[in-house]
Structure formats: C-alpha cells, structure tokens
C-alpha cells in the first residue's frame, strides 16, 4: 500500500520562530492535504494542493505540492502558542475511473511552541 | 452546519463486549469514511461509503468489525467481540462528492478503551 514518510516526528520551538515539515512518498498522489489536529478533536483541513508545483498560502501557513507529485512541505511563519498541535500530511489518489478515492496519512508532526 | 457528529465521545468496555459507534455526516455529503487512529499506526482508513453503499472495506481489520449505512444521515461501526487491541480513537469523516476539489471533514472522534 501507499505510505507517507512525514518528518520531523516532533518539534519544540520558541514563539516567533518559523517551522517547516515535509512528507515524501514512493507513490504519486493527485492531491496533497495538510491537516491540524488538536487534543480531543478530529483533524481539521488547513491547506489543499491540487497541482504539481502549486504553492498555496493560508495566513501564516504555506504549502507546496512537489513537482514529482511524491512530496509536499508545510511552512508556518512566526509561530504562536495556538499553533500547538499535530500536523498531518495526506495524499489522495483516485481510482475506479475517478469516482473513488483514498487518503493516506503521514504519522504526524507534533509541534510545541514555547511562549 | 453542525459538522460531523459522533457518539459516544468516550466508550469504555470489557473484552468480549459488543461496541457500536455512531456517526451522522454533514447533510448533503455523499461520502462517509471511518478511520482508526493509534499511536503506533497513525490514521488508518477502515471503510468508506458512497451514497450509502460500501465502496472499499479493505482496511477493516477482521470479521469482528462491521459497518453499515442504512441512510444518508447515519452510519454505525460495530465491533463484536471487542478486544483490548481495538482500543483507539475512531473517526468518522464525510465529503460532499468525488470531485477533485472536495475535501473531508472529520468528526471529533470516539475514544474507545477495551479492558
């Protein structure tokens, strides 16, 4: 099956610092997604990327869909305490003529921000 | 919109007991997904439905697990009999359609503990 390698596994940073995390795969995906999960909650979508090479921003977050379609990164600039959580990448691929799809998730990056 | 609703939020049961987890997807969403999250394995897709029909159940661990979607607004995931290794957080997610830009919305999850 398809697997995603997400790194780093965890990060401990000071407020105001920039953060970078990435995902790589041996498989090609049609879409890359980045989610954030806070304690006791389900993952919440942050950014969706649909085309190879696409660079998309959402406030202080920036993500890119790798040219090879096998990787993606997420950057967070000027981190704040509420950025704390687990960040997941997910790759989506379509099958069955395009009407069906699956998401494969990375293992997550635990981000801790020290005020 | 109320978002994806799951119940119960927490379930503690003894080995051998039957467990039923419930999900109400976002109104109008055609796809419904069941995931399991553990520290060791991360987020894993168990099964998903399109228009109430199970499309892919290849992620269901074994025959002890079953899922149904009797109508567009309700789905259940049942474990019978439950085992300690089933302890995990189970998420339900829904999606409006199979279009390229559609994305999943997750519920808050059910934390299952099997003693």
Instruction: Give pLDDT, residue B103.
Output: 80
Percent of chain B scoring above 90 in pLDDT:
83
State the pLDDT at residue B71. 95
Q: Minimal Cα distance from B95: which residue of A?
A: A101
Could you tell me if A103 lies within 8 Å of chain B, comparing CB atoms? yes
Scanning B38-97 for CB atoms below 8 A from A yields 42-45, 48, 50, 55-56, 91, 93
pLDDT digits (tens, 9 = 90+) for A87-97: 999 998 888 77
Write the DSSP string, A11-79: EEEETT--EEEEEEESS--SEEEEEEE-TTS--EEEEEE-STT-EEEETTEEEEE-TTSSEEEEEE-S-
Cis peptide before A8 (omega within 30 of 0): yes
Which positions in chain B touch A101 (Cβ < 8 Å)?
98
pLDDT in tens, A33-89: 999 999 989 999 999 999 999 999 999 999 999 999 999 999 999 999 999 999 999
Q: Measured between alpha carbons, how far is B42 from B35 in angstroms, rounded to an integer?
A: 10
Q: What is the pLDDT of residues B28-40, one digit of tens each?
A: 999 999 999 998 8
User: What is the pLDDT at residue B1?
Assistant: 63
Token output for B48: 């998903």
A45 CA: distance to closest CA in chain B (Å):
7
Is the bond preceding residue A2 a cis peptide, omega within 30 degrees?
Answer: no
Percent pLDDT > 90 in chain A is: 82
């Amino acid at each position: 099956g398809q697997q995603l390698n997400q790194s780093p596994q965890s990060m401990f940073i000071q407020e105001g610092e920039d953060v970078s995390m990435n995902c790589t795969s041996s498989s090609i995906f049609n879409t890359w997604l980045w989610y954030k999960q806070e304690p006791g909650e389900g993952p919440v979508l942050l950014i969706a990327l649909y085309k190879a090479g696409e660079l998309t921003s959402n406030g202080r977050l920036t993500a890119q869909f790798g040219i090879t379609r096998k990787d993606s990164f997420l950057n967070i600039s000027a981190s704040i305490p509420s950025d704390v959580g687990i960040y997941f990448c997910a790759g989506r691929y379509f099958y069955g003529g395009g009407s069906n799809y699956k998401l494969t998730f990375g293992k997550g990056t635990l981000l801790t921000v020290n005020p | 919109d109320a978002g994806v609703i799951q119940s119960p939020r927490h379930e503690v049961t003894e080995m051998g007991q039957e467990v039923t987890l419930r999900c109400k997807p976002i109104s109008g969403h055609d796809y419904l997904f069941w995931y399991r999250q553990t520290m060791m394995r991360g987020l894993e897709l168990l099964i998903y439905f399109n228009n109430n029909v199970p499309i892919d159940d290849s992620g269901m661990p074994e025959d002890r697990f079953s899922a149904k979607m009797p109508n567009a607004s309700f789905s259940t995931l049942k474990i019978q009999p439950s085992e300690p290794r089933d302890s995990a957080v189970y998420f339900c997610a829904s999606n409006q359609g199979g279009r390229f830009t559609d994305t999943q919305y997750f519920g808050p999850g059910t934390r299952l503990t099997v003693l």
